[in-house]
Each structure stands twice: as structure tokens, then as C-alpha cells.
Structure 1
Amino acid sequence: MLALLGGVALASAGCRKEAETAPPPIRTVRTLTVEPPRQAADISFTGHIEAQDQVSLSFRIGGRLAERAVGVGATVAEGEVVARLDPENELNELRSARSALTAAQSALRKAENQYERQSHLLARGITSQADFEAAEQARIAARAQVDAAQARVRADEDIVGFTTLKADAPGVVTRVGAEPAEVVAAGRMIVQLARRDGRDAVFELPAEVIRSLPNDATVHVALAGEPAATARGHVREVAPQADPVTRTFRVRVGLSSPPPSFRLGTAVTGSVRGSEMSGIAIPASALTRRGQDTGVWVVDPSALTVSLRKLDILSSDPATALVAKGLALGDVVVTAGANLLKEGQRVRLSGAEAR
């Protein structure tokens, strides 16, 4: 019986060892053969011109808006007044602070006179040390009161200054956020100013269009209705979140030397030439992702084994990926069944198609 059990154990161990060393099963996969690169179609979209640098001007304190001196389209200079709050409350506070300062300065003069008197009397031995020290402490306290009153006056002068809103740079008003007689809170946008040091073409694009744009592609921008007025630029900003209503993303294209006709708010068309998006097209299902890298399984036609090759992807959508680097003419890539493959595994071709 023991011999029989020992034989069974040895047989079982042998089966396990054989299973562990057995090669992976031959997988049946679909493939395609890489053809010469093809050129993608042009991509076009519409948008408008905005300032590259926009700033919202707001008051640092709240109050009733007494005046808004500029409107949409107005050109303002640096330091020009664009709005004012009613300063009456702030002026009352300033007058009160100045009165308190005058009183504190008067008290300081009296305390200094008393200190000088006690100092002379002490030198002549007519007053006590305690009276002299009391006069000295009174003078110190009066000086502190003057310092505090002066600080309050300076603070209230600053607050009165905050009732006037000035442009911090030259530019053009693109939006207004309040009307005279409104009570506005601190920080509320009163005037939006477009500075003059740059222009952006702004587009609202769906996610699939953004994914199809190659990295650092040149965007050709033309004025709507005036195609001869053109400029070039590159994508410099893509909104991290889609608009909740349109489900599109705001894309800002920084323009290089736009013509004067590219005024703020004018409609433009943007396009990316297909010649900038030439590459090898493969089905998106062929892509395999390992960490931060993207690749495909390439079949060795003679050995019928696969190896994972890293790719540089130019653009992609749910159906197709455009490969900039990593594939060569005649390569055979796996398009279906790739998720089960391992490096060096043998495969059986279900059928090859040219691409």
C-alpha cells in the first residue's frame, strides 16, 4: 500500500512539474500587414478671438457703485479710473481717525511738558522719584496712542483709496459686471480688461477632435469672411473639464503675429492640415498599454511568435490610432486576441489583411 501511495505521489509531482514547464498554448489571433503611411483628412473648426491675457478688475472693499466710467469696447490706459464706489462711509471713518489723531497729539504734548517739568524738579530735588516715573510712563503711553492713531489714519486713507478702481495696464474692456447704484461685494468683477500683449483663437471642441490633434500641431487660423487674413498658432491650453451643457472643451490657440483685423470677438476658422497628421493607421483594438507605454504585438512571420513593440502615437480615436514611430512597412501586427498574449508566445494566424 505504501509503495502504491508513493507511486501516486511521484506521478502527481511529475504531472505538476510538466504542467509548470509546459509552453503557453498557441493562440489564434487576427493580424494585419502594415502598408505605407497615409495622410489624415484636414480638421476644421470655428471660434473667436480673445485676449491672451485677461484680468478681472474688482474693488478690495464692498459698497454702493457710484460710477462705472467705461463700457464694453472702451480702450483704457494704465492708471485710468474705471469705476468708483460711494466713499461717504469711508470718508467719515477717515475724519474720525484724524480727529482721534489730533486729540492724541494734544495729549502727547501735555505729557511731554509734564515729563520735562518733573525732570527739572527731580534734578533740583523738589519732586519725588515716583512722580517723575509716573510722568515718564504717561509720556510713553501718550506716544503709543499717537502711533496707534497715525496707523488708523493711514489704514483709513488706504480704504478711501480702495473706493477708486483703476486699470493696472492698458487694454480693452471686454465685459462689465455691475451697474451704477448696485451694492457690490469685495472681489466682484466690475470690469474685465483684455490686455494688448497677445491674442488667442478660442475654440469649443469635442473630445474626439482634441484626441485627433497631433502634439504641437500648427493651427492655421483665418478670419471668417476674409480668408486672406490669416495667422498661425499652437495649442497652449485645453480646459480640464468639459462644458456641462455642450460637453465640449475650451481650447486656446496662441497666435503668432496676428494681423490687426484679428480684433477681439471676431469670428475665425481654425484648421490642422492633414499633412501634419501623416502616419501608419492601425485599429485601436491593436493597442496594448503597459503602465505609461503603449505598444502592439508584432508577429515574427517565420517563427510565428510575438513580441511587444513600443509605439509613439500621433493621434487616436475609438476606432483608429495613427502611429508616428515604432512600425515599419510589412510589419504584421495583432489586431484581435492581443490581451491574452505573452512575450515570445507562438500564435496561429486567423487571417491576415493588408492595411
Structure 2
Amino acid sequence: MKLNRYIAILVFLGSTAWIATGEFSFVGSAMSEADPAVEETAEGQTPEAAPKFQTVGTAVIPQVSHARSVRISGVTQADKRTVLTARTGGIIGELNIAQGAIVKEGDVIARIAPEGRDANVRMAEQQLEQAKADAEAQLRLVKQGTLPKLRGEAALSALRVAEAQLEQASAELDRLDVVAPYGGVIDLLQIERGASVDGGTPVATLIALDPIIALGEVNEGDLLVARIGSTADVRLVSGDVVQGEVRYLSRSANAATRTFAVEVEIANPDLSIPDGMTAEIVLRGDPVLATPVPRSVVALSDDGDIGVRTVNDEDEVVFHPIDIVDDSTGALILGGIPEGARVIVAGQNFVGDGDRVDPVEADSETIRKLVEEATSGAL
């Protein structure tokens, strides 16, 4: 017990002596005395402690002349397709072509046996000659006053009837021939020699393959790209790519799909492109000056508009609304970016419009890769 009392007395005396010296203070006071630089910061910031501007990466991306392209699925189609029919009844006496044959305009495809129709023509010719002779004789007698004028008019009427009968017999004979109205290919032959046909019976299907037509439908949002007279590329299922010209654009949308029919006319002199082949049609608009950029560059303004941010000569952020000229796998092709503008390609989402920034220009290799990434698959 005595030892504990002695220890307590010694601790009390030591504490009293330390307090008597005055060598104690608050932690904050001690820090101020130990580090005068902190007092200087509190009164006025030193240059080392001043806030720095946000660092952003910039690049001047070269502009290109780009025509927007629209790809649509389509199919080739014959320029003309006609089902040739018999114009009168009878038996097929001649069949001059085979299925798949190439014919020219005016070629006789088949002929129905005359069966006396040619004799009717010869009879009508004889009757016409007789009517002419009678009319001449009657008119001479009328002129001489031997016959009344009425007999002369009757002879002229008989002559007109004979002429009409010959014309009718000749027309009936002409109906025996089934003639190609234009050049093309006999795609389907529906008769054989010796077959009996009536007027209106299908004989053959004729298709015109030069030119060949690529038919597709374009969305209403891409309607302005398709222009009559513009050039279009057509990629066939065989891998061949041919060029054509837009010749027709529907002005009435399909009620179910809201798409518009478009036709591209393609020269096909060797008839190598068949009817009904699957094709991809590439329509192109007018070339415009645009900037290819990766999708990561696009940002939203403070108002929620889509665009890109650039840095002006005062190192301030400027927002430019954009017009999407084209969209592809490799890049966005944008209009509305001034030529030579320093586009923010890194850090654009960490700054706002009008902010002062510390721009760091991307090196040439980075810019080259940026342009390659942007233009790959887009141009």
C-alpha cells in the first residue's frame, strides 16, 4: 500500500511540473506553428496549390467528300413480260421456236393451220375485181345518161362492200400467226404442234431481259437518297457487281411496310443476268463534305443535343450540333463540324460547354489510326 501511494504522488508531481512549464497546445495550433506553408495557403493560395484545368485529347480530323449510301435487298426482274395468246381458233400447224429461244421483234412463233381461210381471201379478191369492173361500167352508162344516177351509186356501194370483205378475210388470215411484239426470250412454251387452240389460249411467255431491272423497296427515312437518274450499284448473289440507273421511284408507300418501290435499270446485252435473282441494291446520294469520326467522339450538350465538342483558339470548349450523313460499321460520317476544328477525342464527357481546358494534341500516329478506324468500312 505504501508503494502505490509513493507512485501516485510521483505521477501527480510530474504532471504538475509539465503543466507549469506551459509546453502544450491544440493539435491545430501545433500544425500551424510546425508548418508555416499551411498558414500561407489559408491566407492566399500559392501557385503550386492553384486548381489545374481539365486535360483533354484533341485531333484535327481531315474532312472527306462522302456520298451517303443506302443498301436495300432486291430481286432482278425482266423489263417486260407478256403472255402471247392465239388470236383465233384452230390447229397449230407450225411451231417455229423452242422453249428458251431468243427471238426478235416480228418473229412468228407459231402459226395456226389456215383451214380454208386463205381460200376466203382469194375469193374476196375475185369479188373485189368483179365489183370494180361493174362499178366502172355502171358509172360510164350513168355519165352517158343511159342509166339513172341511182344505179351508179349502187355500183359504188357494192364496190365498198367487196373491199371490206377482202379486208376482213385478210385480217382473219393474219390472226393465224402468233408474233413476238418485241425482242426477248421464250421463257415458257405452252403448246405443241398439232394442238387445238381457241382464241385467247396462252401460247408462250415472252420476257425481255435487256435491260434487266433490279427491284427493291427503300425506307421512308432514306427516300431522299434515291433519285431518278442517279447511278446505283447492284450486287448479285453470284458476287458480280453491276451498275445501273434509277429509272422509277414510287410516290405511294406500301401501306403495310411504309416503304417505297424503286427500280434500277441495268444493261444486259448478253442476257447473262436472269429474271428473279436475289440482289443487293446500293443507292448513293450527292457527295458532301463531311468528317469521319469514331462513335466514341459523339457527346451530349447541356441541353441534351447530340454533337461533338471542340476546342477553340482560347482553349475553351465549344459544342457543335451534328448532321449524321452516313452510319456504318467503321464510323459515323458527320456534317456540321468546321474544317480544321480541334475535335476532343478523349475526355469530352468530363467537360462542359464553355469550360477552359488544357488541350493535348494527339500525335500523328494516333490521328492516323483514328482516321483509319473512322473510315474503315464507311468509305
TM-score tier, shorter chain, comes to 0.3 to 0.5
Larger radius of gyration: 2
